[in-house]
Structure 1
């Protein structure tokens, strides 16, 4: 139950008690006022009945004195007493009407009997007055003895017996009614006092019970909320308030738990963000370290490159310069000698041009700016042609080259000049480092949109420690330098640059003393730069 509903019920109960107390007080006051009026009327009636009884006795005495003495103008004579009795009867009739107007249905019958008794008293009083008037007529006619005799007869006959009897009954009834009303009023006051005491006790008990229930309903959830806020202030964001019911405090507890969960989630997110930031900083630091290391290696490579290229260019340039100086110093040389010097100069210039061209191609490919003249190439026919040229070279070393004649013709998009250079580099290396009577096997096959070319020899192989650096410029394996002093260490770097320019892949598998296999994968549709 919602706490607002509890408060509403408590307020309704208190209001009901207040309204019942007010209604009871109003009813008690109304009843007390009614009994007060009834008591006042009853006392007045009793007093009037007593006055009526006294005045009627005085009236008979006054008539007797008048007849005996003949005096009728005394202050308390029959004329005055007659008016007083009439006034008493009128007052009693008025009091009866007033009483009849305020009594309930159960008392109306008794009050009607009282009204009828008043009528009977009036009737008896009038009858008595008529009898006494006859006696007074005899006296006034000068016959006092007859008047006295009739009066004595009337007195002996009990002329006032019925009237006095009615008056005595009326007095007795009014006395009993006064006692009854006073007793009822006293009982009412006692009942009101008892009911007031019970009502006050019930109101006190209900108020205390409501206060106890409301305070107990407030204390537990408030204590839970206060404890939860302390835990939250202490940093325990995982604390959850025990929630039961569906009142406002339960909603507040659920909101508190949701807020604590959100704070914990945000704290975890912040901690994760902090950890991620630290991780990112560490990663960036490592990247910077690696970049610095890479720059250092690049700088070392650049220095080595310039040193190597300076060394490699120095030899042909020295030859060219020497041959030129010899030709210029000679005065009486024959034409053949001049021609021989010029041929050596041209040969070294061509060698220098090839060296510079390879170095530029490698540099441009490293910068992503290698230029290719792409067109559709019959790669199978190109391999046949290069194998034919390589067989001439292989004759000097007694090395055989095998390429299956039944190999199907495959076409790719590529630069035929660079592809020929690639194949010549691979076959020249295979022949150069093969043992006598060795064999170089060339294979070509299509698979998944690529053309795979393999060149395998049975030569000296490459040591495992040098295998990861064979594509570095001017880098030759240790056993290769021992076997063949020729070579600049640019063949495989140029081959790799050509393959990567065609968006392909090159891989070397080798084992020292067993031979080497070079695998080249070229896509059918190359996307290299066009010129």
Structure 2
């Protein structure tokens, strides 16, 4: 009973974790897009989560009714989980209202803070604690079952010993009268002792030998039944414990991976925040130390602070996106868009920057329409990253060309430049986080191409550097065609 309750509780927490993370994953994906609406019923999701919580409370009360010792107050932990989940649900509802009122950025910031703090950190940690406790309960129960199995086998052995002694005693007194029947009894007893419990002694008549043979046959049948029952129970328990152990190990691995991602995220964030924070603080201190500065000087200082703060905000948003993608959280908006138009917009926005350094930027070849389904803002960010990299790590008069090619079920976009190129041993490293190129006056944060790779992979495509190119650099990425376009 105790093992069944522990197993039911672990299964319940696993289901709770799956439902909670699925609900908030869909909420994040829906509200990070252009449409201020949810693709699911938020009230029904809350009802489903409450039903799982209620079932877990009932299981925990049943465990306590068995006088099961516990090291943590699981009812209190369930209340904490319930409180955090309901607060997060209310903030989803609040963010939805803010987005419908036009405050999209504020709503997305509220969602990021709520999901990261309440769901990714607090709820995940609470579920991890309970699963670890239930794993301990299952181990203790397994030990008790093994002890009971040993006791059963010991009792069977005692019965067998008594039977052997009884048979030998009776045989001693009657051996001189019935040698053949005694020999048959002795042979049967030896076979029973060697484990042959299917053997039976022929019992004819109503004398002492026949009754003894019948009793020995009954004893062998009972021993066989007990042995088979004990074997079946042991096999069932071993299979159950093995399955539950595998489930717990999988859950623990997932939680450990989430913890590692969270630790890496905060380490990376702390490392990269130093420079912009130092700039903001330095500008503020200079402005404060010069009270007689002109309004123009103060305005320039504030502009530099604003630019550093904007860069800092973009960096933090990029880091959150990378962390969410690494942990399997999909917040990519889904809408049909035209890659040709996206590339034209990117060229128009960055052409002046290229020409300011005597370079050029153009969309060399593209179809009239290249439809895909994805996140317009994120894909625009990818184009900005690959073009910026070509500008930052090339000579002043670099020529950059964008191309779009039909490759069957996908579109292949290329960003070609005639710069110094990338060494062969560095072409795979450029997609690692915090890897910076050796050239250019602005080395950047080192997460640009890592972010581009995460965005493209989230859209079902891939991104790579042309391995065959020796002069200049070409970065390719593919995106699946829209089903409307694919069916033409």
TM-score (norm: length of structure 2): 0.43
TM-score (norm: length of structure 1): 0.39
